[in-house]
Structure 1
Amino acid sequence: MTANALRGEVTLTLDGTEYVLRPSYEATLAVEEQTGKSLLDLAVLADDGALTLRQMAIVTTEYIRAWGRETDVKSIAGVQAERIGELIYDTGTILVQPRLAIVLARATTGGSTPGEATATGMKTTETPAAA
C-alpha cells in the first residue's frame, strides 16, 4: 500500500501489516462525532502525546476505512475499532501516536501538508481571488 501525500495520507504499520490512513472529510466527521472532540482538539492532543487509546482506535479506524472506501478494498473498509485498538495496544501507543499526530495535522489543512500542492494542483498557501 502506498500513501498519497497529496491527499494527506500516512502509512501506519500494525502487527506487521501496513495500513494507509486517509483523512477524508467524511472520516473526519465520523471521528469528531465518535470522540466528542473537534479535529483541532484531537490534533493538539495527538501532538502532545495525550490521545486516549480509544481515541487512537477511532481515528485510526475511520481513516483506514476512508482509504479502503476510496480504493474499493472492502476488507479494509470494514475494519473494526475494537480490533484496531488491540493492534495499537500491541504495537505500542508511543509508536502510533506520532503517526496520528501527522495525519490529524494534515486533516486540519484539508488533507495536505501546508505549502504543498493539493490534489487539485493548488498550493494550500495561496489565497483565492476575491469574487
Structure 2
Amino acid sequence: MSQSGTSAQGRANPARGEASLLVDGASVVLRPSFEALVAAEEELGPLFALVERAAAGGLRVAEIAALFWHCQRDGAVPRERIGAAIVEKGPAGVTPVLRVLLSQVLQGR
C-alpha cells in the first residue's frame, strides 16, 4: 500500500489530504470531501466517535471499508473489493491511509 501512486484515477495529493489504497493492483485515491464525510457519518454515526474507536483500536474492518468507500475520489471500486484489500493488508498496512483520513476529520477539512 502506498500513500501516493498512479492509476486511472490519478495521483493522491497529500497537500489536499488525499491518500491512496492499492486495490487489485490499482491505486484508489481517497479524499475526504464534505459530501463523502456526511455520507459516511450517516452510515457510521458521529465521526468523532469513529476517531475515538480508532484511537482505542476498536474499529471494525466494515467501518474502515465504509469510510474508504465513501471517500473514493470517483467511486468506481466496489466496497467489497476495498474491504478485501483492507483484510489483505491487515491493520498495519491500512493504518497510514486511515490516519490521513481521520486527520482530515479532526481538522474539519
Q: Give the TM-score of the pair, scaled to structure 1.
A: 0.65
Q: Does 1:34 align with 2:43?
A: yes
Distance change >3 Å, CA 97–CA 48, structure 1 → 2 = farther
- Of 12, 16, 22 in structure 2, the residue corresponding to residue 7 of structure 1 is 16
Unaligned runs of 5+ residues in structure 1 are: 69-76, 112-131
Distance change >3 Å, CA 78–CA 19, structure 1 → 2 = closer
1:85 paired residue number: 83
- Of 100, 103, 109 in structure 1, the residue corresponding to residue 101 of structure 2 is 103
4+ residue stretches of structure 1 with deviation over 4 A? none
Whether the 8 Å contact between 1:23 and 1:63 is mirrored in structure 2 is yes
Structure showing greater radius of gyration is 1
1:17 paired residue number: 26
Whether the 8 Å contact between 2:19 and 2:29 is mirrored in structure 1 is yes
2:4 paired residue number: none
Whether the 8 Å contact between 1:15 and 1:91 is mirrored in structure 2 is no
Whether the 8 Å contact between 2:22 and 2:85 is mirrored in structure 1 is no
TM-superposed deviation, 1:79 = 2.2
Q: Give the TM-score of the pair, scaled to structure 2.
A: 0.76
Distance change >3 Å, CA 83–CA 13, structure 1 → 2 = closer
Q: How many residues align?
A: 100
Unaligned runs of 5+ residues in structure 2 are: 1-9
Q: Which amino acid aligns with 1:109?
A: Q
- CA-based RMSD of the aligned residues comes to 1.9
2:70 paired residue number: 62
**In percent, how many aligned pairs have the same letter?**
36
Aligned partners of 2:15, 2:95: CA distance in 1, in Å? Answer: 21
Distance change >3 Å, CA 48–CA 11, structure 1 → 2 = farther
